Amino acid sequence: MVNDLIPRVLGKLLIPFILLFALYVQFHGDFGPGGGFQAGVLFAAGIVLHALIFGLANTRRVIPDALVEAMLACGVLIYAGVGLAGILLGGNYLDYFVLDPNPVHGQHRGIFWVEVGVAVTVCGVMLQIFYLFAARGHDGADGTD
């Protein structure tokens, strides 16, 4: 879409708002509809839109494959780390109330970090799937043009 001015301009305008809305859904998820899964998919959708408009090679320079693969592991480690923190602090796995002296704050803190782990993992999985499918049929093994 090098010569398509309207999609490029609209993409430059919309992508930041899509990513901002993903953050809103992430942070609002424990008080209303939303959460980690929805935020991860929205964030990945913003990145996919960038790739569709500006090209896969440009997007892979912004978010390289190594970062996407690290997101897969880090999200799971964040989720599991919250559970292990509950055990280390004297509770059960994913018992959030032990994460803070005030049990209500501990619940909010635990839910927040679990949802962050889910969002990071889901975004990484969506981007990895997109990168693999988008790279099919290109000359380079890594999907670059």
pLDDT, average across residues 24-40: 83
Alpha carbon distance, N-terminus to C-terminus of the chain: 14
CA-only gyration radius of the chain, Å: 18
- Which pLDDT value is given to residue 7? 86
The residue among 137 and 144 whose pLDDT is bigger is 137
pLDDT, average across residues 20-24: 93
- Which pLDDT value is given to residue 28? 83
Q: How far apart are CA 4 and CA 135, in angstroms?
A: 22
- pTM assigned to the model: 0.85
pLDDT averaged over the chain?
Answer: 88
- 74 pLDDT more than 90: yes
> Which of these ranges, 58-67, 84-93, 133-142, has the smallest mean pLDDT?
133-142
Cα–Cα nearest to 50, from 5, 20, 3, 8: 8
CB-neighbour burial class of residue 27 (10 A; exposed 0-12, middle 13-18, buried 19+): middle
pLDDT in tens, 93-121: 988 888 888 888 888 888 889 999 999 99
Cβ contact 43:29 at 8 Å: no
